[in-house]
């Protein structure tokens, strides 16, 4: 009874609306109706950014300025079935040099943005940037435990709010009869409804009105395992602010047919237009059906003209509230029944309605200002979604999206950023871990407090610095300056904010080396096996500065 009441109250319009929607979508599916019938796809226009140029630097500063008016929403209710990890993905190390997990990395980045933004505003006000985490029955308790056992990674506990999404009822047939739990015929069987639930939850929790009354302007949505995301956030928020976008989707260049959705402009025969993510398995058939016989193909750039949706969205709070006032957060749904045969009269197993957060613009009026921001993949996107076996099968040239590539992408991005700032960084070497060929760059990591945007990096290094390929460099501290450092080995610098540390001269030691580990070797923890390597710490120079003052670090 309780469960029925919950199923009823957690769906906009209740179970009655759910069943009505299901009947319609199931009838459409049986009739083979294409949801994009009547729409013609075309390439939308948006902002294409180049890391490090004047425009990028200007946008990053605008983004940091705006960040004090933002709220972050992390969707983390997914089980990560494709990854097959036994724990929650937020607890996975983003990289194993420091071992910081995704949630820690995200929270530290938000705190750094908060500090930088308040400083730019004159340092008077100290606004806390709120973080909402959408969880599910599968992820809620371990997410809370992760936060509590780590003192919320430095956030004030009241700054973080967990909103749990409910599952939806499963359906047995085309009439949307509710399916009973095979193990308990007095229970309705339920399954996840998808990340689109986040909009209804934010609406029904009253969170949006609370944010509005606190003067917030932007809501930033992001996913659970993208270790590069915060390198893309400041500039993208800068784009939203300068363009006044109601919706800004972050995107990366995408190979034709790559398994991520494509941002597409859809124009209906009746004149309606929208800029929306079209999932990759629908984009190719849609193009073929509308006069592009080859479907989704790469253009002269070597990429599909339809940029890849990385599901990081920036919404303008004013228009978001207005829209949700009309829809109560209900999002366009879809159904994907597995039929027993071509008569499409019965299912192999029960089905349910699903929804995706990026479908939010589908109900917006044509006057809405919907755009997107494309950034280089190396800077913005390296999720951890696939288990080693599946990742190894990804066709050459397409991203593996594994724990291996997620970690390597962080080192590559940091190396390329330092290079762009003038540091000489040795070329990477190629290696194969868990059957995936990757570039191994020096293992460089820094805390977000050291550098949040490119201008921070440029202020803290100079072109007299050098880092060899086999090196590891870890910087923890706001005021650490690399001034002519030549590193061939491992250097770890920890410093409190009040300690100003100048790192100079040549530092050489045996360093930390990567040892191959096979993912099937159960003598290693799962977090290590899944990336195919382990860091062996042979020798390092580690210095910690815990007192205020000016210091010089040399070998």
> What residue ranges bind ligand UGB (CB under 6 A)?
75-78, 134, 136, 192, 194-195, 223-224, 260-261, 277, 309-311, 356, 358, 383, 385
- Residue of minimal Cβ distance to ligand UGB: 78
At residue 400's C-alpha, the angle toward residues 429 and 231, to 5°, is 75
In the chain, % helix, strand, coil (3-state, to 5) comes to 30, 30, 40
Tell me how far, at minimum, the Cβ of 349 lies from ligand UGB, in Å. Answer: 18
Name the minimum Å distance from CB 266 to ligand UGB: 15
Residue 141's CB is within 10 A of a number of other CB atoms, namely 13
- Smallest distance, Å, CB 405 to ligand UGB? 13
Query: Closest separation between CB of residue 161 and ligand UGB, Å?
Result: 15
Instruction: Please identify, using beta-carbon distances, which residue of 402 and 472 lies nearer to ligand UGB.
Output: 402
> Which residues in 319-355 are b (16+ Cβ under 10 Å) and which e?
bbbebbeebebbbbbbbebeeeeeeeeebeebbbbbb
Nearer to ligand UGB, 78 or 227 (CB): 78
- Decide whether 46 or 383 has the Cβ nearer to ligand UGB: 383
284: three-class secondary structure by DSSP: helix
Alpha-carbon span 367 to 196, nearest angstrom: 23
Beta carbon nearer to ligand UGB, 95 or 166: 166
Where is 550: in which H helix or E strand?
strand 549-553
First and final C-alpha spacing in the chain: 69
CB of 133 to ligand UGB, least distance (A): 9
Closest contact distance (angstroms) between CB of 157 and ligand UGB is: 21
Distance of alpha carbon 313 from alpha carbon 248, whole angstroms: 6
Cα radius of gyration (the chain)? 24
Nearer to ligand UGB, 115 or 376 (CB): 376
Spatial separation of the C-alpha atoms in residues 106 and 228, rounded to whole Å: 10
- Least separation in angstroms between CB 385 and ligand UGB: 5
**Residue with Cβ nearer ligand UGB (44 or 194):** 194
Cα–Cα nearest to 407, from 531, 539, 506? 531
Judged by CB, which is closer to ligand UGB: 75, or 170? 75
């Amino acid at each position: 009874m309780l469960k029925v009441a919950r199923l009823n109250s957690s769906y906009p319009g209740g179970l009655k609306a759910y069943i009505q929607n299901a009947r319609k979508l199931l009838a459409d599916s049986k009739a083979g109706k294409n949801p994009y019938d009547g729409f013609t796809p075309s390439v939308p226009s948006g902002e294409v950014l180049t890391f490090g140029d004047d425009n990028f630097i200007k946008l990053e500063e605008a983004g940091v300025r705006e960040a004090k008016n933002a709220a972050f929403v992390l969707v983390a209710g997914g089980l990560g079935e494709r990854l097959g990890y036994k724990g929650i993905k937020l607890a996975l190390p983003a990289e194993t040099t420091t071992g910081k997990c995704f949630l820690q990395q995200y929270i530290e980045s938000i705190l750094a943005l908060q500090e930088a933004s308040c400083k730019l505003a004159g340092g008077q006000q100290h606004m806390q940037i709120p973080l909402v985490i959408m969880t599910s029955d599968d992820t809620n308790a371990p997410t809370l435990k992760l936060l509590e056992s780590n003192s919320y990674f430095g956030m004030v506990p009241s700054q973080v709010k967990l909103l749990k999404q409910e599952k939806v009822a499963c359906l047995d047939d085309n009439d949307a009869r509710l399916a009973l739990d095979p193990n308990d015929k007095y229970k309705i069987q339920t399954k996840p409804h998808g990340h689109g639930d986040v909009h209804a939850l934010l609406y029904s929790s009253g969170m949006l009105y609370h944010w509005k009354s606190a003067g917030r302007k932007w809501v930033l949505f992001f996913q659970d395992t993208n270790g590069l995301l915060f390198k893309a956030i400041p500039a993208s928020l800068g784009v939203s602010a300068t363009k006044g976008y109601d919706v800004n989707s972050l995107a990366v260049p995408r190979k034709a047919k790559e398994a991520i959705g494509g941002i597409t402009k859809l124009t209906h025969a009746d004149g309606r237009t929208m800029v929306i993510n079209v999932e990759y398995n629908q984009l190719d058939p849609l193009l073929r059906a509308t006069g592009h016989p080859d479907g989704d193909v790469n253009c002269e750039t070597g990429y599909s003209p339809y940029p890849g949706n990385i599901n990081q969205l920036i919404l303008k709070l004013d228009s978001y509230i207005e829209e949700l006032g009309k829809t109560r957060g209900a999002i366009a749904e879809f159904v994907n029944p597995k039929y027993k045969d071509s008569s499409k009269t019965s299912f192999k197993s029960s089905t349910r309605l699903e929804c995706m957060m990026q479908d939010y613009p589908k109900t917006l009026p044509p006057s809405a200002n919907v755009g997107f921001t494309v950034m280089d993949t190396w800077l913005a996107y390296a999720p951890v979604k696939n288990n080693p076996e599946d990742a190894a099968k990804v066709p050459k040239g397409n991203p593996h999206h594994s724990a291996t590539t997620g970690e390597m992408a962080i080192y590559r991005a940091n190396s390329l950023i330092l290079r762009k700032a003038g540091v000489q960084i040795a070329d990477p070497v190629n290696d194969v871990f868990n059957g995936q060929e990757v570039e191994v760059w020096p293992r460089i990591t820094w805390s977000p407090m050291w550098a949040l945007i490119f201008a921070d990096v440029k202020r803290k290094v100079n072109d007299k610095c050098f880092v060899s390929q086999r090196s590891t460099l870890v910087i923890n501290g706001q005021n650490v300056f690399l001034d002519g450092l030549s590193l061939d080995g491992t250097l770890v610098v920890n410093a409190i904010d009040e300690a100003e540390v100048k790192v100079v001269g040549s530092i050489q030691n045996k360093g930390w080396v990567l040892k191959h580990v096979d993912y099937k070797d159960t003598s290693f923890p799962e977090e290590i096996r899944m990336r195919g390597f382990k860091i062996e710490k042979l020798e390092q120079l580690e210095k910690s500065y815990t007192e205020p003052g000016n210091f010089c670090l040399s070998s």
